[in-house]
Chains A and B, each alone.
Chain A
Amino acid sequence: MRELLGNFKIPGDKIVLTLALVLIFVFFSMLNINFISTTNIINILLAASLTGLVAIGMTYLIIGGHIDLSAGAIVAFSGVLAGILSTNFAMPFPLVLVIILLTGAGVGVFNTIMVTKIELNPFIATLVTQSIFRGFAYILNDGRAIPIRDSAFTGFGTTRWWGIPIPVILLVALFIIFGVVLAKTTFGRNVYVVGGNKEAARLAGLNPNRIALKNYVITGVLCALGGVILAARMGSGQPAASMGLEFDAITAVILGGVSFAGGVGSMFGTVLGVLILQSFNTGLIMVNVPTFWQFVARGVLLLLALSFDFIRKKAREKKVLEDSMKKV
């Protein structure tokens, strides 16, 4: 572990994002001192846990040159299915969890087959999945929410260890695990390779389809886990839950510096993106910004971040050029 994290430092291009996060905290704390309370920070993290889980998968997918628009639908579908298995079939929670995670993996396989075997564009393919699984989420319990009575199940969303809710602990653990996998394993490295140039990657002896499969399965499983957590927290599986969740995740991932063109990005950036987005959201609510304006504010935040990235990139290119003029 020490070897993996011992030399961890904030990468240069993430300093601005880190500062932005700090700035958001300072700003909202000045407007409302409760913002910086432990309770609120835990609330922010709890609220971030769902977007965060999806954002982990999305980081892999987008770096690898794909995307998944079915995330929100899978979360809702998993929640309802979990509710039915638990309440109507009285299955013990661990069994429910295993079945749901396998189902999530299955959805990932389904997405992969559409993308690699019938060569659908990932946008279109996962739009298909989104529609189908949102439909099933409604069909399963005839459009109604399914209450969950098993306390082991609901406890999964509400129990706290050392004062910290389980979903938050899980999120932190998964961020670390998937961050290390992305940065330190050959699989993680190959995600970047494939996202940069698929044909060159194939001729270089990689199997792009297998990497796509892993990425979609990871995302599917994480979405399914997210569905279970959400259902546990709300005490019911709700078919209309998490509409548009995939776009929150994509926003966070892009905010964190992942290139939409593929091949570039890091898990640490995604962590920052998720935290910035969620603390910004919570802050807006706490200082009573009207809901509709919150959407506008979020758009502006993303635009600012991307413009800033662009300006920095240009400045860096200019500096490199000037340096070389001095040298020669």
Chain B
Amino acid sequence: MPGNANVLQFKQITKYFPGVKALDNISFRAKAGEVLAFLGENGAGKSTLLKILNGDYRPTGGEYLINGEQRKFRNPKEAIDAGVSVIYQERQVLMNLSVAENIFSGRLPSKMLGFVDKAALYEQTRSIIQEFNLDIDPFALVKDLSIAYQQMVEIMKAYSREQLSIIAFDEPTASLCESEIESLFGIIRKLRDEGKIIIYVTHRMKEIQSIADKVAIFKDGMYVGTVIPGEVSEKEMINMMIGRDLGDIFNELERNEEIGDTVLSVEQLTTDYVKDISFSLRKGEILGFSGLVGAGRTEIVRGLIGADVMKGGQVLLEGRRIRCRSPKEAMEQGIVLVPEDRKTQGILPNLDVGGNISVATLKKYALFGDLVNSEKESEVVEKGIRDFKVKTPSRYKKILELSGGNQQKTIIARWMSTDPAILILDEPTKGIDIGAKAEFYKMICDFAKKGISVILISSELPEIIGLSDRIIVLKSGKIAGEVLREDASEEVLLSLAMLDT
């Protein structure tokens, strides 16, 4: 019965994929009027379960019931029609349509003869936007919005459906700032009080404390149990999901204590997206770039490596003036970028793990000018897999079949094989589970100890505070301030990132 489902029940759900048992005999229930968080490492099965719930996957075994009635959605549309919406990590918005058209796609209000009733569309959209407490023009094109707003559009789209009874969020805050998160939580609480069943998938403990009424914990495709956040400590929850304690992870890191002289100085860098950016970077230093999504962090480094056209300013590498017109030229100067969006900018989807690692260096050790040197290639690939602990049965495995963390390690192996002097990491641990994050943190500190200078861009404040020697905070394409490690706190960074000075 759409609109007022009050129990969702999973019974012995099992799901196999090539090479993995993704879900193993999952049984539990979710009730209306409470927010049930799914907690677990990546690959624990949370997303797979959501995809079964919305008809994207069919379970290999088991069943799910809504209000005691067994359902078998064959595709997301059937699920949506039955009142089940899932908001995914990857945005599913239509970039070239307006906000209003996205929210009401498939059910645009119409006038006589089927013409779209623009006035009604505008009004309906505006009232939803108001409920969300956002400042968006209903007829703005989605592609012109920030990533955070694009995601909001998607949530509003699900929210606008009358029959909505179950709504699941798959890590919805990955690219939202604090105020956006707060307004999202407001909406979630409102939905909860309206009697919807809310599922909330996340990695972030802090969010669990503030939004979840109950927490279902997953580990390796199995359901471990459900706990109430107030009754169980964070530590215990982490222990349930990974079986070890990561509380002091940043304190345990061995940091580079011998930071050298300035290697890179950027003076008044200007591109189409940022203006007059100046900063310097020292040998073996980890320099953090903090700020809200869209503040210009990524755009600065893109200008630096020549992925975007540099319109003004200059870059000095060890006192020498350089000008990188393409990522290729930057690489030749020893400056490399591990990009933000692994799926569209990092991995080479049609290649295997080996090809993904060797692509950056293949030319360097080619024989007779251009012939692939297979022996040397194997050496580089094997070393990369070994050094960065890429978990793969062989170098011939398609990269798409690896987990997100291992894909990221592969990309890092690619860039480290070029022997860079400056390594830029843009959101290196996005969508990666806590266990693997710890590995990445250690890895980043090791790079610094080897004398590599690191620029770290991250939206996760604990991460940037825990790793950086110095943090540059950006706001609206400009540098809002610079904070030393010892002065850094979440409050300081946030006030620089958000307040007008």
Instruction: Give me the interface of A with B, judged by CB distance under 8 Å.
Output: 184-187, 189-190, 192-193, 195-197, 199-207, 263-264, 317, 320-321, 323-325, 328
Question: Are A317 and B345 in touch, CB under 8 angstroms?
Answer: no
Give the contacting residue for B359; candidates A204, A207, A320, A323; CB below 8 A: A204
Question: Are B360 and A321 in touch, CB under 8 angstroms?
Answer: no
Residues of A with C-beta under 8 A to B363: 186
A190 to B60, alpha carbons, bound, how many Å? Answer: 39
Residues of A with C-beta under 8 A to B328: 205-207
Question: Are A187 and B350 in touch, CB under 8 angstroms?
Answer: no
Question: Are B350 and A196 in touch, CB under 8 angstroms?
Answer: yes
Question: Are A197 and B348 in touch, CB under 8 angstroms?
Answer: yes
A199 to B337, alpha carbons, bound, how many Å? Answer: 13
A196: min CB distance to chain B, Å: 4
Give the contacting residue for A328; candidates B21, B355, B360, B418; CB below 8 A: B21
Known: A193-B355, A263-B350, A324-B21. A184 touches B372 (CB 8 A): yes
Residues of B with C-beta under 8 A to A263: 349-350
- CB within 8 Å of A: which of B485-500? none
Chain A, interface SS category: helix
Question: Are B16 and A205 in touch, CB under 8 angstroms?
Answer: no
A200 to B331, alpha carbons, bound, how many Å? Answer: 14
Closest chain A residue to B332, Cβ basis: A205
Residues of A with C-beta under 8 A to B349: 196-197, 200, 263
Q: How large is the interface on B (under 10, 10 to 19, 20 to 34, 35 or more residues)?
A: 20 to 34
Residues of B with C-beta under 8 A to A200: 339, 344-349
Question: Are B327 and A324 in touch, CB under 8 angstroms?
Answer: no
Residues of A with C-beta under 8 A to B360: 204-205
A37: min CB distance to chain B, Å: 40
Closest chain A residue to B330, Cβ basis: A205
Is B112 in contact with chain A by the CB < 8 A criterion? no
Residues of B with C-beta under 8 A to A184: 371-372
Is B20 in contact with chain A by the CB < 8 A criterion? yes
Question: Are B19 and A185 in touch, CB under 8 angstroms?
Answer: no
Give the contacting residue for B337; candidates A185, A195, A203, A206; CB below 8 A: A203
Is B181 in contact with chain A by the CB < 8 A criterion? no
Closest chain B residue to A185, Cβ basis: B370
Residues of A with C-beta under 8 A to B348: 193, 196-197, 200-201, 204
Residues of B with C-beta under 8 A to A186: 362-363, 366, 370-372
Known: A186-B362, A204-B359. A324 touches B344 (CB 8 A): no
Question: Are B326 and A202 in touch, CB under 8 angstroms?
Answer: yes
A182: min CB distance to chain B, Å: 11
Residues of B with C-beta under 8 A to A193: 348, 351, 355, 359
Closest chain A residue to B338, Cβ basis: A203
A192 to B349, alpha carbons, bound, how many Å? Answer: 10
A325 to B22, alpha carbons, bound, how many Å? Answer: 11
Question: Are B17 and A189 in touch, CB under 8 angstroms?
Answer: no
Is B307 in contact with chain A by the CB < 8 A criterion? yes
Give the contacting residue for B307; candidates A185, A201, A202, A320; CB below 8 A: A202
Is B319 in contact with chain A by the CB < 8 A criterion? no
Residue pairs across A and B with Cβ atoms less than 8 A apart, 14 shown, are A185-B370, A186-B372, A190-B359, A190-B362, A192-B355, A200-B339, A200-B344, A200-B345, A200-B349, A201-B348, A202-B326, A320-B19, A328-B16, A328-B20
Is B475 in contact with chain A by the CB < 8 A criterion? no
Residues of B with C-beta under 8 A to A204: 327, 348, 359-360, 414
Closest chain B residue to A209, Cβ basis: B326
Question: Are B366 and A320 in touch, CB under 8 angstroms?
Answer: no
Is B18 in contact with chain A by the CB < 8 A criterion? yes
A264 to B345, alpha carbons, bound, how many Å? Answer: 19
- CB within 8 Å of A: which of B218-262? none
A65 to B356, alpha carbons, bound, how many Å? Answer: 18
Known: A199-B344, A202-B326, A205-B360. A189 touches B355 (CB 8 A): yes
Known: A203-B307, A204-B360. A321 touches B17 (CB 8 A): yes
A328 to B363, alpha carbons, bound, how many Å? Answer: 41
A325 to B17, alpha carbons, bound, how many Å? Answer: 8
Question: Are B371 and A185 in touch, CB under 8 angstroms?
Answer: yes
B144: min CB distance to chain A, Å: 20
| Most B Cβ at <10 Å: residue of A193, A204, A317, A323 | A204
Closest chain B residue to A261, Cβ basis: B350
B316: min CB distance to chain A, Å: 22
Closest chain A residue to B20, Cβ basis: A324
A320 to B398, alpha carbons, bound, how many Å? Answer: 14
Give the contacting residue for B350; candidates A185, A195, A323; CB below 8 A: A195
A193 to B21, alpha carbons, bound, how many Å? Answer: 31
Residues of B with C-beta under 8 A to A202: 307, 326-327
Known: A189-B362, A193-B355. A324 touches B337 (CB 8 A): no
- CB within 8 Å of A: which of B364-392? 366, 370-372
In order of increasing CB-CB distance, the 8 nearest A-B pairs are A196-B350, A263-B350, A320-B18, A205-B331, A328-B21, A185-B370, A205-B328, A186-B362
Chain B 320-348: CB-based contact to A (< 8 A → 1; otherwise 0): 00000011100100001101000011111
B312: min CB distance to chain A, Å: 22
A225 to B231, alpha carbons, bound, how many Å? Answer: 79
| Most B Cβ at <10 Å: residue of A203, A321, A324 | A203
A264 to B414, alpha carbons, bound, how many Å? Answer: 21
A235 to B413, alpha carbons, bound, how many Å? Answer: 58
B340: min CB distance to chain A, Å: 10
| Most B Cβ at <10 Å: residue of A189, A196, A321, A325 | A189
Known: A203-B345, A206-B359. A321 touches B350 (CB 8 A): no
Residues of B with C-beta under 8 A to A185: 366, 370-372
A193 to B352, alpha carbons, bound, how many Å? Answer: 11
A193 to B355, alpha carbons, bound, how many Å? Answer: 9
Residues of B with C-beta under 8 A to A197: 344, 347-350
A317 to B401, alpha carbons, bound, how many Å? Answer: 13
Give the contacting residue for A192; candidates B331, B346, B350, B370; CB below 8 A: B350
